[in-house]
Structure 1
């Protein structure tokens, strides 16, 4: 595919003057831009996002971007204006609707939501093609990926190293989009123009690289149904290691890793983990969701992020006792839990993070067995805080989920989410657990390459899938673990010759969780409330393999001690 230079476009963004480097956190962004998800305007909910053609010109000397976005929508209800999210630090220079240029008075963007008055009202089912030219100095992240924005950096030899990250604040940091989980375009074509000597790996399939007359290159990519925050720009003098993986399902999956010069040995070591990780996921869940595009990883100047088919990696090739790179594995897990299965609302993002966190110990169990699995699960257990429920049952923003200061469950969507899955796996058994997972990911029990597409899911759907697979209603399980903040407490009473066990569940409802009890080396399974015979001198261990997520006074004391130590510093 050959494309004209940006300079030849009828919608040409204004180049920015000035070369003074910005500081982290500059330019400031509005509350609107900081917010992702939550309640959306009716005009946005009345759009089907058919395609996005995104042209970016990366200007490292100015820490700036020029962009032309061609967005194609279908109206699902009558519309008189188009609302798309775009940071006001990226001023718009020109807009056309269905090839009709608009007067400057037809649009406004005071707070980060671009309102475009249509030349005439659009009827239901009508196609709307908006072409938007913009340019600016996008917000620089303070501490990516824990906050979002552009990351302008340098390689060890002083060349440009640039990346975007946008999960928290959203896609509107650098392109006009619908900034909520279900706002995905059906397809996105991405064109990235970069200075001479730099490369721009991105999402999906590489369509081609255009050599421009001034020595720059334009990298052209196409990706199907990308997550709203998953489109990513990555620019550096990258080198590449590549290969193919022969899948359990018969297809060959392209694998690529882009890394900085001088790291060939470390890069090959990380790349060697790709195929075994793929095999684990395909063996237990199903086919890699983007096998017709690629498994892509790129080294970034920030820690990491699940950018669909181009996951960001910034773990410095760190070694760990489990023998694999947790960051690569975690972000890869998001190809299944986040990019293939996307939560329809931020309130359900424990499905993304809980599963992605759980897959590291699950992989360790597959590789090494119970000891490594138990060690990793117990480490996660010590991090569960239980301040807020994982799920609130209403539309929320990203910040209301990931930020403790805004009342969110924060890190519990990772660690508590993983332990919910750990307990569920023990409760229903391995066969049903992976069957549940498979249906949640693909929407069907029999996935094969070509018979599924990325989909949206929810906690309510997941709960229904558990019921369908097991034939049992586990509403009590989800009510306690997802919709209550506190953990169930197992009350033990020991008298001469008897052991009584009773659950005290938050919310006061039923909690028929079975428990393994070991008495003098013999294990039996009981369901409290129950009283069993125990020899007066019998040695008792409750839940000897730590399968159940429950209150632990020891963990609470440990966490309180840690907080005291931090306060002294």
Structure 2
């Protein structure tokens, strides 16, 4: 299919004369900045079957042109299409089922493009909308902690460009349904870039076309991508590639796109792909996108879990654990984020808690319990407990991720990870990984071809724990997910008896068993009803929870955090 994207000469001259946007420009509306949240009936009525997205990247003017052909299925009767698209990318034409619409048929005052259909679509019917748009997209201030375009230069002065959209959403550069369950069934991408540049992207490469003016068009196809996982990456890339023979019998293509002059570092990072993949397939299950690829691309921002084309910007940093934590973390999201996607941003911990827990788990896989313990303790000092991990309502991404908007912030990473660590110690390894496989794949026996990407929730996860263990652990999730403060273990030693009791926010039951080491021997105190006791010899040395299995209040950590805030205030 030949796609022509052009601007009139007069328009090009005006854009060329205009100053390039600075970081944070052009401004975006509150509507564009939000991702997720409560859906309208019109939004829930849309099933997103496919998207054909053609992009023209224009580095000289830091602008973007696009043609999006979207196919929707009506779950209920619809008369309008509410499609999210930043108003900084004005629409010039829309056609419905091949018939052009008059400009009066659509509006986009705040970043939700609303299209009035020529005729209503009945439930079960399909509609194809072709949207032609273009303009100056929002430039990120500090990607990936905020979102937008990242226009940069390589060390030798060539264009280096990337997109990030996790927080503000896909509507920053293409017309989409900007909520987690708005995933399209299949997306085809056509990315036209200047001569000499490459555009690695999601899924399988269908081919590269060379245009008459020397530019190239990169054509990709990806199945069921996460809404924020579509990514444009443009640069003078070089590539290292190979194939991984999975323990499940399939062969998986692997590729890393990097900048010129970095081959030694690139080869070392690429050498981590296969053992990391083996770890995940052994501990969790099959790589979810084995019929597409394991893809990583170097970006001018830190990183992001773009499905099958993860962004990497860690500058090949070295760490005492001996592997690249950022590569491993973003790769973890292929399972926790892309295969298993939270249906509601309120359950974002399913992505980030698990994604963060995978680094110490990999440390344990590589080196044993000492490395695992050291990495877990590093995470423990970063937990703040200011807000519950979940708020028990439909939330936007910002309302979860950003502490100043009432969210748990980084606790969805570190507290989520420690909650999983505690759950693993409570129910045992076999049950924990059975629960994890059910959450990721929806079945206990995943094999290539017998599962699809799925949506999950905290409520469903609790159900999986109950199903696998045969026990109700609501008390566990009540405290760790739905309360901010941590459980506190109160110790009292009188004579030859050690008495222990749990104090939890809300005063509920918390029968978390506790290991106690007495004179070098470890005993398990059951803590029925949140209380327990143990006879101890007079003068015996006692260590509570010697292997740090339980996420609980630590006065030492609280005092350290308070001291750090006073002595080293954030600039």
Residue aligning to 1:481: 480
Aligned pairs (5 A) from 1:45-64: 45-64=44-63
CA deviation after TM superposition for structure 1 residue 535, in Å: 1.4
Q: Distance in 2 between matches of 1:107 and 1:525?
A: 66
> How much has 1:197 moved relative to structure 2?
0.2
- Residue 3 of structure 1: how far off its partner (Å): 2.5
Question: Contact 1:13 / 1:92 at 8 angstroms: preserved in 2?
Answer: no
Compared with structure 1, are the counterparts of its residues 300 and 173 closer, same or farther at alpha carbon in structure 2 (3 Å cutoff)? same
Kept after mapping to 2: 8 A contact 1:13/1:93 = no
CA distance in 1, matches of 2:405, 2:171: 21
Q: Which runs of 4+ in 1 moved over 6 A?
A: 11-14
Q: Summarize the alignment of residues 61-140 of structure 1 with structure 2, pairs less than 5 Å apart.
A: 61-140=60-139
> Residues 12 and 341 (structure 1 numbering): CA distance in 2 closer, same or farther, change over 3 Å?
farther
Partner of 1:177: 176
Between the aligned partners of 2:451 and 2:377, the Cα distance in structure 1 is 35
State the SS of the aligned residue for 1:567.
coil
Deviation of 1:566 (Å): 2.3
Partners in 1 of 2:457 and 2:341 — Cα distance?
A: 8
Determine if the alignment matches structure 1 residue 557 to structure 2 residue 556. Answer: no
Give the equivalent residue in structure 1 for 2:505: 506
Shift of 1:12: 13
Contact 1:516–1:525 (CA under 8 A) maintained in structure 2: yes
Where structure 2 has 5 or more consecutive residues not aligned to the other structure, the ranges are: none
1:532 corresponds in structure 2 to 534
CA RMSD of aligned residues (A): 1.4
Task: Describe the SS at the equivalent of 2:43.
Answer: helix
CA distance in 1, matches of 2:521, 2:190: 64
Cα separation, 1, equivalents of 2:459 and 2:3 = 47
Structure 1 residues 92 and 213, CA gap change in structure 2 (3 angstroms): same
More displaced stretch, 19-28 vs 82-91: 19-28
Native 8 Å contact 2:525 2:533 kept in 1? no
Deviates more, 1:263-272 or 1:493-502: 493-502
- Tell me by how many angstroms 1:21 deviates: 1.7
> What's the offset of the Cα at 1:333?
0.1
| 2:15 paired residue number | 17
Unaligned runs of 5+ in 1: none
SS of the aligned residue for 1:61 comes to coil
**What's 2:345 paired with?**
346
* CA shift for structure 1 position 527: 2.1
Partner of 1:36: 35
Question: Cα distance, 1:6 vs. partner?
Answer: 2.7
Equivalent residue for 2:253? 254
8 Å contact kept, 1:513–1:527: yes
Match of 1:435 in 2: 434
SS of the residue 1:357 aligns to: helix
Question: How big is the shift at 1:4?
Answer: 3.4
* SS of residue paired to 2:374: helix
For residues 81-110 of structure 1, give each alpha carbon's deviation from its aligned partner in whole angstroms, at most 9, with x where no partner exists.
Answer: 110000000000000011110001110100
For residues 284-320 of structure 1, the C-alpha deviation after alignment (integer angstroms, 9 at most, x for no partner) is 1110000000000000000000000000000000000
| Other-structure match for 1:384 | 383
Aligned-partner Cα distance in 1 for 2:3–2:242: 32
How much does 1:5 deviate?
Answer: 2.9
In structure 1, the partner of 2:417 is 418
Per-residue CA deviation, residues 385-406 of structure 1 (Å, 9 max, x unaligned), is 0001111111000010000000
Q: Structure 1 residues 491 and 62, CA, compared in 2 at 3 Å: closer, same or farther?
A: same
| 2:333 is aligned with 1:334 | yes
Contact 1:13 1:135 in 2 (8 A): no
* Displacement after TM superposition at 1:497 (Å): 1.3
Three-state SS of the structure 2 residue aligned to 1:550 is: coil
Deviation at 1:568?
8.8
CA deviation map 1:201-239 (0-9, x unaligned): 000000000010000000000000000000000000000
Distance 2:265 2:559 in 1: 41
Deviation at 1:464, TM superposition (A): 0.3
- Counterpart of 2:547 in structure 1 is 545
Task: Report the Cα distance in structure 1 between the residues aligned to 2:326 and 2:419, rounded to whole angstroms.
Answer: 21
Asked if the contact 1:400/1:408 (under 8 Å) is kept, the reply is yes
**Distance change in 2, residues 1:36/1:402 (3 Å):** same
Counterparts of 1:175 and 1:532, CA distance in 2: 62
Deviations 1:305-342 (A, max 9, x none): 00000000000000000000000000000000000000
8 Å contact kept, 1:184–1:226: yes
| Alpha-carbon distance, 1:13 to partner | 13
8 Å contact kept, 1:13–1:94: no
State TM-score, norm by structure 1. 0.98
How big is each residue's C-alpha offset from its partner over 1:498-542, in whole Å with a ceiling of 9 and x where there is no partner? Answer: 110000011111100000000000101012211221112010000
Query: CA offset at residue 40 of structure 1?
Result: 1.5
Conserved in 2, the CA contact under 8 Å of 1:192 and 1:200?
A: yes
Question: In the aligned structure 2, how far is the partner of 1:12 from the partner of 1:308?
Answer: 37
Query: Which residue of 2 is the match for residue 210 of structure 1?
Result: 209
Residue equivalent to 1:163: 162
TM-score normalised over the length of structure 2: 0.98
Structure 2: distance between partners of 1:267 and 1:491: 51
